[in-house]
Amino acid sequence: MQAKAFNFIPLKPSSPVIKLLPPHVISFPDHVTREISISIPNQQVSTSVQDEKAAAYWDYQSLFVSQRTETTNPIVLRVVEGSIPSDFPLGTYYLTGPGLFKDDHGSTVHPLDGHGYLRAFTIDGAKGEVTFMARYIKTTAQVEEHDGRTGEWRFTHRGPFSVLKNGKKIGNTKVMKNVANTSVLRWGDRLFCLWEGGAPYEIEFDLLDTVGKFDLINGSDELSGSSTPDRDTLDHPRDVLDLAASILKPILYGVFKMPPKRLLSHYKIDAQRNRLLMMSCNAEDMLLPRSTFTFYEFDCNFKMLQKQEFKLEEHLMIHDWAFTDSHYVLFGNRIKLDILGSMTAVCGFTPMISALSVNPSKSTSPIYLLPRVPMHGDLRDWKVPIEAPSQMWVLHVGNAFEEKDHNGNTQIKIQASGCSYKWFNFQKMFGYDWQSGKLDPSMMNADKGEDQLLPRLVEVSINLDANGNCEKCCVDPLNNEWNKATDFPVINQDFSGSNNKYVYAATCSGVRRELPHFPFDTVVKFNTEKNSTQTWSVGTRRFIGEPIFISNGSNEDDGYLLVVEYAVSEQKSYLVILDAKKIGETNVIVAKLEVPKSLNFPLGFHGFWACTSSKT
């Protein structure tokens, strides 16, 4: 797919300057260039279109502006609309994501390599107020790259997705830059920030001070009262792969400091059993045509209740996954080793992620149903995937559940967001161009006719007979009438692993011609029983991140949705509380609270709601 591109050239004294008039008036910090020139070869473009392209470009940059300021003491946010309901559950909404993208020496990093910046909104319905705090997670890399005395930043770790413009390139083995910026979890009265490839960092949940790494999985091979089944019974000869692994391990572990098992940032909570489920993969398998996944289940005191390892004969990359009562569900995103890319990446000329590329060699998508409870007898071989009849790169999972009939047949349903292999690109996520260090919004916005390649919400249905054999597998839109780019599906977590009726997600209204699909500006509510949708949009030149559902009643949609509004036109962030039942109505906003402009923060990734009275 050829993406359209914004072609921006440096401004020269004699170059004409486009004046952005209302409603495109933009204010920028002092370090941001205000005057830009646009060159669009071989086209005659009207001034209004040029203005729209310029506004779209700068709005997108503003969504990823670094925030160096922290709040060590909670501040009370000003309510600008509505009021906090007195029955709102007392608790804290934690949101993590990157906070810094540019250092003081000319280097920029991909958003996925930005240092973790934890935001905390504590909501007290009885007092009718919300307090806000924001702190950087003091990871090993953050402590090395930030001078706490002078406030200066100097990037020394290039990270998996970036190349340093100023600093050591060749021979720089500081790749696994654990920035703890991807997801956040409060479990067993402890708070953690997670990253895709290292141990979580524990954070004090009241002051947001960093405690340090919390190693959940390494050294936990022995389980009292439990045993790990021997899963290494594959028929395919493994001598060559084992030899390759033995060569790679000392390099990856010793030179590049990768942990033997990479803990994934996406976890699952089994609300019915009150368990925390986590998954890891072996570091060396990223470069081998096989995959090793280990699943862990913990109680609320972090006692490991179960551990199982599965070895699959495919080169896969998993970001998010699902579970049911009987299975761990993996959508196998197929990848392959890029030989040329790996050579340039190791030398430091390209990002390390250049060593991998998507593998669209098959027109189907493998789905692995791995037994959550060890099974025996003539049940299906879990090493053989179910091939879904469409090629789909799965991004995030909203929910999965299974139902059995009186004959022992099982139907499994999974609600997830997925995109085309033709659109997904490791090096261009969020539109980051590592060569220029800039963000290009066109990379995230497909042209007309190619928009079907973008992320969509789907429901995957798998029918198994009593012996576990697949009788049918189909992939359908979550709603047949909904065709907009959509991601970050969430549900009422009380229904996790159970048959749910409602799914909430982030999507785009499509009203801006130059940003038709991303960034998101709309919350959509799916009713799977009625096959209907309702939406709420944030407004012009404003964007949103992932919504979070807060349960407050017995019915599935009794509760509230929390979503952060990024008002780039004002350089402000807002916390918005929506009535989940009233999505689609005019009075959906319960309250809107303003974060002070000096603390305006960039786009966050994933969040977590923790009730103060909850055990988790």
Asked if residues 322 and 329 have their Cβ atoms less than 8 Å apart, the reply is yes
DSSP string of 163-199? --SSS--TT----------SEEEEETTEEEEE-TTSP
Weakest-pLDDT range from 4-13, 383-392, 490-499:
4-13
Percent of the chain topping pLDDT 90: 68
Name the DSSP letter for residue 108.
B
Return the higher-pLDDT residue of 232 and 587. Answer: 587
Instruction: Give the model confidence (pLDDT) of 312-335 as tens digits.
Output: 999 999 999 999 999 999 999 999
DSSP-assigned beta bridge partners for residue 131: 76, 122
pLDDT given at position 87: 92
Interatomic CA distance for residues 520 and 568, integer angstroms:
13
The secondary element (H helix, E strand) that includes residue 333 is strand 333-337
Q: What average pLDDT is seen over the chain? A: 86
Q: Is 62 left (phi over 0), alpha (psi -120 to 50) or beta?
A: alpha
What are the start-end ranges of the E strands in 77-207?
78-82, 91-95, 117-124, 129-136, 183-187, 190-194, 201-203
Instruction: Give the model confidence (pLDDT) of 236-268 as tens digits.
Output: 445 655 655 565 555 555 555 667 788 999 999
Binding residues: 319, 396, 606
Weakest-pLDDT range from 111-115, 441-445, 516-520, 604-608:
441-445
Instruction: Give the model confidence (pLDDT) of 144-170 as tens digits.
Output: 999 999 999 999 988 889 988 876 666
Instruction: Give the model confidence (pLDDT) of 77-101 as tens digits.
Output: 999 999 999 999 999 999 999 999 9
Asked if residues 315 and 306 have their Cβ atoms less than 8 Å apart, the reply is no
Burial class (CB in 10 A: 0-12, 13-18, 19+), 115: buried
Radius of gyration of the chain (CA): 24
Interatomic CA distance for residues 426 and 357, integer angstroms:
7
Instruction: Tally the residues of the chain.
Output: 616
Interatomic CA distance for residues 292 and 295, integer angstroms:
10
Interatomic CA distance for residues 470 and 462, integer angstroms:
7
For Cα atoms 56, 62, 68, give the angle at the middle one, nearest 5 degrees. Answer: 170
pLDDT given at position 164: 87
Q: How far apart are the first and last CA of the chain?
A: 45
Task: Tell me how far CA of residue 429 lies from CA of 108, 179, 329, 424, 443, in angstroms.
Answer: 15, 17, 25, 8, 8
In sequence order, the 6+-apart residues with CB closer than 8 A to the CB of 129 are 76, 77, 84
Binding residues for Fe cation: 319, 396, 606
Nearest C-alpha neighbor of 88 from the set 591, 598, 520, 515: 591
Interatomic CA distance for residues 616 and 551, integer angstroms:
14
Count of CB atoms situated within 10 Å of the CB of 188: 16
For the cut 60, the answer to whether the pLDDT of residue 557 exceeds it is yes
Task: Tell me how far CA of residue 527 lies from CA of 148, 176, 505, 508, 550, in angstroms.
Answer: 49, 41, 12, 18, 17
For the cut 90, the answer to whether the pLDDT of residue 388 exceeds it is yes
Interatomic CA distance for residues 467 and 589, integer angstroms:
49
Interatomic CA distance for residues 606 and 182, integer angstroms:
6
Six-digit token pair at 129? Answer: 């107020």
Instruction: Give the model confidence (pLDDT) of 186-227 as tens digits.
Output: 999 899 999 988 899 999 999 999 999 998 886 444 443 344
Q: What is the dihedral of CA 110, 111, 114, 120, to 10 degrees?
A: 180
Nearest C-alpha neighbor of 101 from the set 117, 118, 85: 117
Long-range contacts of 356-361, Cβ-Cβ distance < 8 Å, separation of 24 or more = 356/286, 356/317, 356/426, 357/426, 358/333, 358/334, 358/393, 358/421, 358/424, 358/425, 358/426, 359/315, 359/334, 359/335, 360/334, 360/391, 360/421, 360/422, 361/334, 361/336
Interatomic CA distance for residues 176 and 555, integer angstroms:
44
In sequence order, the 6+-apart residues with CB closer than 8 A to the CB of 530 are none
In sequence order, the 6+-apart residues with CB closer than 8 A to the CB of 402 are 324, 325, 326, 327, 410, 411, 412, 413
Q: Cis (ω within 30 of 0) for the bond into 519?
A: yes
Name the DSSP letter for residue 115.
P
Count of CB atoms situated within 10 Å of the CB of 411: 15
pLDDT given at position 347: 75
Percent of the chain topping pLDDT 70: 83
Asked if residues 316 and 335 have their Cβ atoms less than 8 Å apart, the reply is yes
DSSP-assigned beta bridge partners for residue 268: 277
Nearest C-alpha neighbor of 94 from the set 56, 55, 132, 41: 132
Task: Tell me how far CA of residue 564 lies from CA of 94, 416, 545, 570, in angstroms.
Answer: 11, 22, 6, 14
Nearest C-alpha neighbor of 202 from the set 211, 117, 96: 211
DSSP string of 275-304? EEEEEEEEGGGGGSS-EEEEEEEE-TT--E
User: How far is C-alpha 342 from the chain's CA centre?
Assistant: 25
Q: Indicate whether this model's pTM tops 0.75.
A: yes
In sequence order, the 6+-apart residues with CB closer than 8 A to the CB of 615 are 188, 189, 274, 300
In sequence order, the 6+-apart residues with CB closer than 8 A to the CB of 121 are 77, 92, 93, 95, 130, 131, 132, 562, 575, 593
pLDDT given at position 379: 73
Count of CB atoms situated within 10 Å of the CB of 383: 17
The secondary element (H helix, E strand) that includes residue 527 is strand 522-527
pLDDT given at position 254: 54
